[in-house]
Structure 1
């Protein structure tokens, strides 16, 4: 049935800031055989996006424009019935994401997105994971900067320890050691929506295994600063995106535990931080421990939430082309093998690098290549059986290979000499 569909890929939310940039990335790859279209709520905005894209490639003048709205399920069904993979950039996903996922399951269409909203991902897992497995449909959220570098970087380290040393992994710790980029208005508005959500209790928000069917070794922790000599003896502070990244990585651990011969290891633990000089690390830690809890409480109340939405940047805004080109990021990962007590330790260092704005340049690359992994390599994917999966459990090495083609990103791992 999939082979007869009109579109290989539809970008849903193409008129938004990230959606249009994702379309630009797809155009730049110059796939002659890719059948794709762009979708959104407004024909006028779609026409404007189309005109912008034509400046990059004249052939885009023939691209189909699809009117679809999350509030109109029939409009979603209409285009998804003709689509193999839908790529969604429409957030906040807690407001707009669920109808699209439901329609994907009705029409048996694969799905990827850029969300970092773990509260929404939890609801999707609970409602749709089993159905997606039954229908062999891939539903893969968090295919952008959150959480591809963390999730695939950990997968890479675990795979290396298994292949090179025949060891399970006891621990991976990750630090964002370099970054340059700034958020868009859409990201800021999505963060406000997430912080104001009341669907999860405080205990659930702090649960390291909120998204996982199994519980492991990790415990909740206070976001304190500390020095780590594995990361150059520099200060480690709380990384705001670790809130979603750690949960995604632990879901990958949990799902691979159930796949014969692919377990990360029963003792596996994961921790993520950010490398900063002392003063910024101290200020960030102070804000997180004092002001953030108060803001989270206040955002639960509609008047304060509306005030924050009005004074902060609106959706549809973000870094310009020159700013995006100057962006970059680098994660370092330290993996420790699961060895016997008297055996010498086995440790490895992984590196994941991106070379443009992480939230937009490289997020667009990551989510587009996630979708294209399904379009071109479905039968080779580790998650081809379907389900609500993670980048590592759904796409794995296929996505790493696509991201590193022509030096687009770097995924490397090597032994640490003893």
Structure 2
């Protein structure tokens, strides 16, 4: 199914970056007959990317576009049904493309984990996008699709079983092998820099409901820590003996999941409490490792958002991964993750959702998730929600993604415990 009024089904913006190239490779394999174009600042670099892809991609058009030149983004958005972008940090580069897509009524997907960027996108463009029929969908990679979709899948299962609403819900990373991308590091540095100099950004990062559709309508459920240190048995009996510590991406993920609940008219439940943590195992050193992990993450979150501007940036730039860099193909292939999300319903029933993928979570797995989000927005229109505006993966295309996962190497299962 294609739209005769648009030249392309999908335009990939940022195709010359590390994750952009991986997403292009995935679309070349999984895109079928989709009309795809590659976009970025350099036509020569775009040509090199296209030449590295298979035969199916050699006819893909190349589009020069630059976030510093809004007219090029306006033209890009007007030519396609869907734009997917890997160009970050999004706080620095992202809003002009969101603006272009909202004005053109063009669906959009990105990889951001930058909560203040999402909040600004909502404040500036949610109404315009909704009025023009656009879906602006943030956080379509490892941040935050596993978080968002495991909870959505639990909601669908619990509703089908007529087992009440979700209450205490916990996402636990059970296994993880992979690195942190240079792009993710660049986004984190930009975020901490903004928070250290802007009290409003810091306030947004501290509010668990900062992405809500209506902050005043959210239930007050007490403190919901972004850096928990817990025994596994306090989450679920199945985790007895396991210790858990802070998961570094919990802060943006939890706010995305809570926004999904609000966008879906709080259908998960008015007593829905959500947290994320990482398993540290069950050895005798596990509680110490969990405590240290939690302390380090809490210190980074607390001190980094207040005093980052005082740190020696040249030193950080020398020791941290550079944007556009990434691991070898062997390392990307050998990576993996498995997450489990546990919930207890208002009727006392317990459920678990398990999601896993082979491939480095921040690179290969993310490129698959972003690619499937792009294809879902372009081709699964009958399965998408009726919502428009600035959305989350679950609120925009939860059913479509659940249907696509089995054919894309993503395993997601729910079970009653």
TM-score after normalising by structure 1: 0.91
**Could you tell me whether the CA contact under 8 Å between 2:244 and 2:280 is conserved in 1?**
yes
**2:167 paired residue among 160, 165, 170:** 170
State yes or no: 1:354 paired with 2:351: no
| CA distance in structure 2 between the partners assigned to 1:292 and 1:328 by the alignment | 26
Question: Which structure 2 segments of 5+ residues have no match?
Answer: none
Equivalent residue for 1:40?
40
Equivalent residue for 1:286?
295
Q: How does 1:298-377 map to 2 (within 5 A)?
A: 298-301=307-310, 304-339=312-347, 345-377=348-380
| CA distance in structure 1 between the partners assigned to 2:78 and 2:67 by the alignment | 15
Deviation, structure 1 residue 166: 4.0
**1:227 paired residue among 216, 225, 231:** 231
Q: CA 1:184–1:221 in 2, change beyond 3 Å: closer, same or farther?
A: closer
Deviation, structure 1 residue 30: 5.2
Q: How does 1:1-400 map to 2 (within 5 A)?
A: 2-29=3-30, 31=32, 33-53=33-53, 57-198=54-195, 199=198, 200-212=200-212, 213=214, 214-216=217-219, 217=221, 219-221=223-225, 223-229=227-233, 230=236, 231-257=239-265, 263-277=267-281, 278=286, 279-290=288-299, 292-301=301-310, 304-339=312-347, 345-382=348-385, 384-400=386-402
> SS of 1:100's equivalent?
helix
> SS of 1:8's equivalent?
strand
Q: CA 1:332–1:66 in 2, change beyond 3 Å: closer, same or farther?
A: same
> SS of 2:207's equivalent?
coil
Deviation, structure 1 residue 2: 4.3
Moved more, 210-219 or 311-320: 210-219
| CA distance in structure 1 between the partners assigned to 2:226 and 2:367 by the alignment | 32
**Could you tell me whether the CA contact under 8 Å between 2:342 and 2:352 is conserved in 1?**
yes
Q: CA 1:401–1:222 in 2, change beyond 3 Å: closer, same or farther?
A: closer
**Could you tell me whether the CA contact under 8 Å between 1:196 and 1:305 is conserved in 2?**
no
RMSD (Å), alpha carbons:
1.8
User: How many residue pairs get matched?
Assistant: 400
Q: CA 1:189–1:177 in 2, change beyond 3 Å: closer, same or farther?
A: same
**Could you tell me whether the CA contact under 8 Å between 1:207 and 1:220 is conserved in 2?**
no
> SS of 2:152's equivalent?
helix
| CA distance in structure 1 between the partners assigned to 2:415 and 2:169 by the alignment | 14
Question: Which structure 1 segments of 5+ residues have no match?
Answer: 340-344
**Could you tell me whether the CA contact under 8 Å between 1:85 and 1:374 is conserved in 2?**
yes
**Could you tell me whether the CA contact under 8 Å between 2:179 and 2:362 is conserved in 1?**
yes
| CA distance in structure 2 between the partners assigned to 1:3 and 1:171 by the alignment | 46
